[in-house]
């Protein structure tokens, strides 16, 4: 006996035709972190370090780590559900699911497929974006452009990473830095919480060797030898990355202001990629920006890669740090070497 096909859920109606990039809005936001905490005291039992050593060099006190059996798409799906609830849009009305991640559930298929199924966004197309810690802003620009083209009405953009799985817990230099999290935003063409006024992205492959996982790709497939050499873990040149990061955070902020005929005093809050507290302090000093205008939550989460920007944005909103009519700059840098910035203008009441 043949069963009737289930009727597709109703879809949101959107005006047809392209719109200006500046007319794409942020409609909702959400984030998710694992329950498990990995404190500096816990790390001191694994490597030669201490709470004082870690805090002095990174500003980190603890980070969140995936539970047994938990995967990247679990974090991404929960952040997506919260962003959807915040936007008032049903999962079935989502047209595009984009997941920025360097730690997919598995090589094939894309993590967006797992997120789509978990949240019930059955009418959406989707794919992953890998630009390291800058991935969320790359995905944000892709979602923005797809909506502006007129081909799609809305998009769910997720930054989700579980860098604990790429962390060598025998390396004091890197194991203190990374944690796991996800953040998500819903984009659309109608008036929302904030307009994405401008974005700027860049990449300099000459620095690709500064942040990398050597093994696991076609250049060096995983083998007994690569595992023995611990080449499946993330390595980076901290000194060079520090210099690059400070320059980019300050430069992006200034350039976004200049491109939009704004002064730095016109920016109410800068939300940077949460890589290292010393980088954020140095960038704030270079910009002569007071601490209250540079958002920092790295103490509680560490570096969560593509999740740091949406996680910090969600937290800043929930803390009341962002009000109607305010302007924000989001700025990130990461493996590639990639970088990106965004200017947001929150709608006046």
State the burial class of residue 164 (Cβ atoms within 10 Å of its Cβ: 0-12, 13-18, 19+): buried
Q: Which two tokens stand for residue 135?
A: 């991935």
Beta bridge partners of 330: 271, 342
Q: Is 273 marked active-site?
A: yes
154 is an active site residue: no
Contact 282, 248 (CB under 8 A): no
Q: Which of 40, 86, 276, 303 does the annotation list as catalytic?
A: 303
Q: What is the DSSP string of 226-258?
A: HHHTTTTS-EE-HHHHHHHHHHHHHHHHHHHHH
Q: Are 315 and 31 in contact (CB under 8 A)?
A: yes
Query: Are 317 and 30 in contact, with CB atoms under 8 Å apart?
Result: no
Length, in residues, of the chain: 349
Q: Among the options 86, 154, 273, 276, which is catalytic?
A: 273
Q: Which residue is it, tokens 């873990």?
A: 233
Q: Is the dihedral of CA 210, 215, 218, 219 positive or negative?
A: positive
Q: What angle do CA 267, 271, 274 make, to 5 degrees?
A: 155
Q: Residue 245 and residue 250: Cα distance in Å, rounded?
A: 9
Catalytic residue among 40, 110, 133, 257: 133
303 has catalytic annotation: yes
| Residues carrying an active site annotation | 133, 273, 303
């Amino acid at each position: 006996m043949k069963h009737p096909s289930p009727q597709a859920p109703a879809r949101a109606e959107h005006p047809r035709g392209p719109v200006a990039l500046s007319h794409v809005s942020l409609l909702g936001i959400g984030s998710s972190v694992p329950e498990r905490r990995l404190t500096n005291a816990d790390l001191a039992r694994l490597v030669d370090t201490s709470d004082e050593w870690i805090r002095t060099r990174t500003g980190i006190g603890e980070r969140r780590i995936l539970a047994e059996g938990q995967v990247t798409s679990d974090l991404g799906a929960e952040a997506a559900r919260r962003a959807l609830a915040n936007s008032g849009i049903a999962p079935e009305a989502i047209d595009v699911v984009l997941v920025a991640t360097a730690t997919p559930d598995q090589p094939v298929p894309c993590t967006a497929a797992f997120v789509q199924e978990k949240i019930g966004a059955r009418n959406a197309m989707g794919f992953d974006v890998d630009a390291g810690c800058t991935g969320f802003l790359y995905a944000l620009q892709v979602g923005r452009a797809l909506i502006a083209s007129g081909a799609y009405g809305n998009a769910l953009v997720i930054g989700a990473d579980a860098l604990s799985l790429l962390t060598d817990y025998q390396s004091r230099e890197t194991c203190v830095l990374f944690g796991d999290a996800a953040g998500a935003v819903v984009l659309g063409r109608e008036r929302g919480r904030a307009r994405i006024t401008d974005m700027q992205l860049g990449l300099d492959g000459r620095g690709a060797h500064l942040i990398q996982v050597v093994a696991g790709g076609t250049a060096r497939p995983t083998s007994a030898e690569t595992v023995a050499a611990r080449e499946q873990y993330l390595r980076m040149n901290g000194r060079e990355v520090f210099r690059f990061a400070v320059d980019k955070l300050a430069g992006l902020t200034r350039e976004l202001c200049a491109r939009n005929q704004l002064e730095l005093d016109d920016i109410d809050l800068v939300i940077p990629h949460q890589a290292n507290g010393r980088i954020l302090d140095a960038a704030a000093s270079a910009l002569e920006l007071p601490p209250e205008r540079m958002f920092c939550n790295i103490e509680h989460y560490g570096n969560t890669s593509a999740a740091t920007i949406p996680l910090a944005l969600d937290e800043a909103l929930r803390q009341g740090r962002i009000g109607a009519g305010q302007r924000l700059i989001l700025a990130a840098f990461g493996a590639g070497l990639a970088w990106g910035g965004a200017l947001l203008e929150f709608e006046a009441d």
